[in-house]
Every structure is written in C-alpha cells, then in structure tokens.
Structure 1
Amino acid sequence: MRAVGFTSPGGPEALRVMDVPRPAPGPGQVLVEVAYAGVNFAEVYRRRGWARTNGEAVVPGLEVSGTVAGWGAGVDGLSVGDPVAALTHDQAGASGGYAQFAVAPEELVYPLRTPAGEVDLLAAAALPCTVTTAYGLLAAGRLAPGEDVLIHAALGGVGGTAARVARLLGARRVLGTVGTAAKLDRPEAALYDRLYLREDLDGWARPDGPDGGFDLILDSIAGPTTEASLRALRTLGRVVVYGNPGGHGDTRLSAQELWLSSRAVVGYNLGEIAVRAPHLLREQALAAAGLLADRRLTVDIGEVLPLEAAWEAHRLLESGASVGKLVLRLAN
C-alpha cells in the first residue's frame, strides 16, 4: 500500500513516499481504509528520534478517519464500510495513519454515525487526538463554570478546539497567546476575548496585570512559558502541561512554593491515557462526535495537503506558522 514514512530520524525531509505491506488486524483490532489523517506534534517527535527504526520503515500518524475495511478476532458490532475515526496510538513499524490503511484497537475506533447525524470525514480526522485532547485538558484542569482560561498556541488545532469546548463548559472568559504578531490579526483570533503575543509577558503573565491572572492555563509550549504561566495563576489556579515542541530543558518546580501559593501543575499525555484508561478517551470522543454532528462544536481545519506533502505539513507545524488543524488527504 502507499504510505509516507521514514527509515531514520531527521528533519521533515526524512519523510518520503514508500510502498509497505498492508497491516493485518490482530485480535481486538480494526482495519480502517484511511480517507484523512490528522497531523500532530507527537508525530514530529517520532520523526525526530523518539521512534527506534533499526533501519526499518516507520509510518507515523496518530489519528485517521475513513471506513471499516476489516477486523480481527473478538471484534463485533461493525460492518465493512462503516464511517469511523480511530486513534492508532499503539502504532509500530508500518501501522500508522499516513497510509492507505491503518489498524487501531477496537475501543479507540469511534463510529461517526450518531443520533445527531453523521460527522463529516474531514472534520472527523481531528476527533481521535485533537478534539479528545481538548476535552481531556479541560477535564484534567477541572474547569468550572465562570472561570477564566488562558490557552497557549491558541490558534493551533488543539488550542482552537479547547477554546470552543471551554465556552461550552461555561468559561467566563477565554484568552490566548500566539507566537507571532501576524497571528494576532487572523480572523480566527475572534474566537478569543483577548489574544496576546506570547513574548509580551507584561501583557498576560502578571497576576496584577489587566486580566488579573487566570484560573486555568493550558500549556503546550514548556520551558519559560510554563514558569511564566505559574506566576500568572490566581489562588487555586492550575496549569496543565502537554507538550514541549521547542525541546526545552525540564522546568524545576518547588513543591514548597506550590503549597504556599495554592497553585497546581497537572500533566496530560494522550498516549498514556490511551494505554491505561482508553474508556475515558472513548467517552469523550463519542460525546464530541455528537457535538460535531449537530455543529455545536466545530474544528478549524487549516491546510488539507496530499499524502505525499506530509513533509510540508511537518515543516509548517514545526515552524509555528500553521493555523488550525493540518490534515493529509488520501481519499480521491
């Protein structure tokens, strides 16, 4: 089958079109014919060297949408041709989503036909990872109605979705930061009550600043941003950390300071949850599918690129220039 992958770590140029065997679903697994594959920073990490290749082909891709093409022993309740989205978190070798076919555990395969209607396959490409991450971050951060939320990387796929979910959950105000001044004037900025340039620490990171601190901050940037975020919290405020795209060194936190300031830091890793508590992801994904179907929730789809341009999607993601969800198209 046609796929995009790499045989040794490197930059975006390490990704290339290749022909690999079609994966066979094992017990409890579902084979999906891929229509669209979402692009996520976790796949950038794998390409940079998190995946051990041993010279063999690695096909990345955490989330796909498409149709059921088969299944392994122990799977029931599905029919060939059913529209689904799937989280392929346990990918190994050539089983990731940047390919014509991918496999995923049955519990992490989500039907797109809901009581509210059917989710569009393009939007559904963001459901297994981006949308469930947005839900999970706000759940991990214990967002309560009436609280103020700050979201770093505000115009990315997770950021924009989290902002919409936060409003559905009753947030009083939703604010955000971006890495470049050009993004402040993007139409998508209207989603936020206020948007800051991230380096403008006097704007957002001072508890005595114009916004008076925040109850919850979603931090995918790490390093100095995490340290500034802690200072920007109100009493009983929380920072949820879930990424480190710049490869910053570890942030040193003082348990004594957290205790004395009544603030908290929470970690969120979708892959870990997929292994240890997949039922939580399924509950969130199915709830989100209903919201997507009746359009109470939308996802900002940025660029939709052909599969062979996966390297360009990675370049855009790493550069910080992308807005919205990046998606690879395999459907005709």
Structure 2
Amino acid sequence: MSELMKAVVLDGPGDPSALKLRQVPRPVPQPGWVLIQVKSFGLNRSELHFRRGMGSFGSFPRIPGIEATGVVVTAPGGEFEPGTQVVAIMGGMGRTIDGGYAEYVSVPAEIVIPFRSELSWEALGALPEMVQTANGSLQVGVGAQAGDTLLIRGGSSAVGLAATALAKHAGIKVISTTRNPAKTDQLHAAGAEYVIIDDGEIFEKVREICPDGVNGAIELIGTNTLPDTLKATAVHGTVCFTGMLSDQWTIPDFYPMDYIPNGVRLTAYSGESSDLTAKSLQGIIDAVAAGELSFPMGHVYQLDEIVQAHEDMESGAVTGKLVVLNP
C-alpha cells in the first residue's frame, strides 16, 4: 500500500473553498522523473485562473501548483542525488500533472533545477516562478539594457516588484504603476525611481518623465491597459505582454495597423523552466543572500490555510509574494 501525504485537491472549478486538503497516495516516480519533498511553494495568479476554470488546458481532479521548492527524495534515473535542493517549475504542473500544493510532488527531471542555499525555505519558495517570469520579461521579452527606462504596468504585483528589483540591479531606471496610492512607498523601496498612480490612462504622465517614451514596458494588467502602455513607449521601444491581472486576455477584432503605434514593438512572454538556468537561479539566490537583491514577501501560510491564501490572492489584499510553507 502506498504511503499517504497531505495535498490540496481541486475536483473542479470553483471559488477558494473548492480547494480541499486531503490525504492522498504519495507519488512514486518513474524513470526520468524526480520525487521532491516540497518544503515551500509560491502562489501564482495562473493557479487562480485554473481554479476558476479559466485555464486553456488541464484536467480535474488535480493537485494545483505550477512550482515547488524542496529537496530530492529519489530520482530513479540518477539525474539528481537524494537531498539535493531543487525547484520545479511549469512543465504541466498543476494542470496536466499534479503540482506543488502538496507534501511531495513527482515531476519530469527536465523541469527540475538544482541550487545550494542556506536561505529560509519561505524565502526560497518565493523565488522560482516569480523571478523566472520577471527575468524572462526583462531579458527575453523586452531585451532591456543598462541605462534604459522601463515602464512596469502593474508594479505592485509580485512579478512587478520582482521585475523592479531585477531591473534596478541591472542599472535600468524603472517607472512603476499602481492603482493604490498607499503602495507608493513599497514601489520606491523595491527600486522604482518614479511611481504613477494608474487611473487607466497614464501615457501622458509617462511622457512627462520621458518625452520620447520609455525604452521598454512590461504589461502585467491585461489587454484593457495595453493600448495605453503602447502609447507610452518610444519608437523602436518594446512592450512585453506578460500578465493579466485584470483577467482580460484577448483583443476583440484586433487590427494591428490601428492598435500598435508606428515603430513600437509588441512581444509576449510566458516562459518555461528551461528559461531559468541553474546558473541564473543560483546567481539570484546568492544576490539575495548577500543583500544585493530583495523581493518583498507578502505573507507565509501553512498548507491547511490554502483557502485563505487564495482569498488573499484574489482580493489583492496582500502586497508581495504569497508563499505556503510545509513543516
């Protein structure tokens, strides 16, 4: 008989109360897969979308969670030694295979990234998907360089705060936005040089700071603010569509000639685990440990507080990364 573990199971779409904590069989990894004892995991808005039934793929019942941080229990194929500190990201986690909302998770070896650190598990659990998305948006999506000015639309989100910290660390000047004036100090503390209160139309305020427009922008709100973000961007500048905090994903009757200003580039970033190399992850972890980088932590929950965690994520009541810690 299989050993049991605690896991959060989603039988079908619903509100946060649909997330049920249960005893389920601990997974047994096949060759090419890795069994990880989950020490912590970050919460991501895509998990909220999946819980609501808004995801474009996936099946139920499912243990959600697109990331996990922990230690290797076993890897039958020999890819990792037991005890190795690792993160697992994406690769169908929480959608087509069971994800990180559990005490253990079994995942393909190719989505597992090793690291070494003495940071706390809650600090480590905040990093993988957040920094993968933020770093990918900066480097792959925008191609931002030292000396550029970057607009981060939706700057008080976890990814927005991470992108701000990474950009400042790379010598990039950040203009960040928030709808809530009370979050202004948090955005400055994260590294934003300018903060704009977002009322839906900000391009004129951006151009008061940068008359020719910003060199690049990361759009985290959605398609409802994207046209305004494009207007704030310079000719030959790049806007990267990364997030959908507004839950508006698509553009009805999209006509590029009318939608995109002349000479402004529109790209997107979703990313996979392969975009975050072990070297890059280790470098970011080491920079955090050295005090050179800081990512705001929102709140730390236990596994049996997952409903409250999703309620807080949905309401936006907590600024910073939400993390679940296993004992």
Q: TM-score, normalised by structure 1?
A: 0.86
* Alignment pair present for 1:167 and 2:171: no
Counting only pairs closer than 5 Å after superposition, residues 1-332 of structure 1 correspond to structure 2 as 1-49=5-53, 50=55, 52-53=58-59, 56-73=60-77, 75-76=78-79, 78-91=80-93, 92=95, 95-113=98-116, 118-139=118-139, 140-171=141-172, 173-184=173-184, 186-191=185-190, 192-199=192-199, 201-202=201-202, 204-206=203-205, 208-212=207-211, 213-248=213-248, 250-251=250-251, 253-256=254-257, 261-270=262-271, 273-274=272-273, 278=274, 281-331=277-327
Task: Give per-residue Cα distances to partners, 1:48-74, cap 9 Å, x unaligned.
Answer: 112554xx531111122221111132x
- Partner SS for 1:20: strand
- Judging changes above 3 Å, is the alpha-carbon distance between structure 1 residues 318 and 257 closer, same or farther for their aligned structure 2 residues? same
RMSD over aligned CA atoms reads 2.4
Alpha-carbon offset, residue 237 of structure 1: 1.4
Identity level (%): 28
Task: Give per-residue Cα distances to partners, 1:145-170, cap 9 Å, x unaligned.
Answer: 11111112212221111111111222
Alpha-carbon offset, residue 19 of structure 1: 1.8
Alpha-carbon offset, residue 134 of structure 1: 1.0
Alpha-carbon offset, residue 318 of structure 1: 1.9
Alpha-carbon offset, residue 197 of structure 1: 1.9
Rounded to whole Å, the distance in 2 between the matches of 1:153 and 1:9 is: 26
- Partner SS for 1:96: coil
- Partner SS for 1:243: coil
> Contact 1:23–1:94 (CA<8 Å) still a contact in 2?
no
- Judging changes above 3 Å, is the alpha-carbon distance between structure 1 residues 235 and 193 closer, same or farther for their aligned structure 2 residues? same
Q: TM-score, normalised by structure 2?
A: 0.87
- Partner SS for 2:225: helix
> Contact 1:155–1:324 (CA<8 Å) still a contact in 2?
yes
Alpha-carbon offset, residue 305 of structure 1: 0.9
- Judging changes above 3 Å, is the alpha-carbon distance between structure 1 residues 64 and 205 closer, same or farther for their aligned structure 2 residues? farther
- Judging changes above 3 Å, is the alpha-carbon distance between structure 1 residues 207 and 253 closer, same or farther for their aligned structure 2 residues? farther
Alpha-carbon offset, residue 5 of structure 1: 2.2
> Contact 1:160–1:300 (CA<8 Å) still a contact in 2?
yes
- Partner SS for 2:322: strand
Alpha-carbon offset, residue 138 of structure 1: 0.3
Return 5+ residue gaps in structure 2 as ranges: none
- Judging changes above 3 Å, is the alpha-carbon distance between structure 1 residues 52 and 224 closer, same or farther for their aligned structure 2 residues? closer
Return 5+ residue gaps in structure 1 as ranges: none
- Partner SS for 1:201: coil
Alpha-carbon offset, residue 177 of structure 1: 0.9
> Contact 1:112–1:118 (CA<8 Å) still a contact in 2?
no
- Partner SS for 2:28: coil
How many residues align? The count is 316
Alpha-carbon offset, residue 16 of structure 1: 1.5
Alpha-carbon offset, residue 257 of structure 1: 5.2
Rounded to whole Å, the distance in 1 between the matches of 2:90 and 2:104 is: 11
- Partner SS for 1:209: helix
> Contact 2:230–2:261 (CA<8 Å) still a contact in 1?
no
- Judging changes above 3 Å, is the alpha-carbon distance between structure 1 residues 197 and 2 closer, same or farther for their aligned structure 2 residues? same
> Contact 1:236–1:262 (CA<8 Å) still a contact in 2?
yes
- Judging changes above 3 Å, is the alpha-carbon distance between structure 1 residues 238 and 28 closer, same or farther for their aligned structure 2 residues? same
> Contact 2:88–2:111 (CA<8 Å) still a contact in 1?
yes
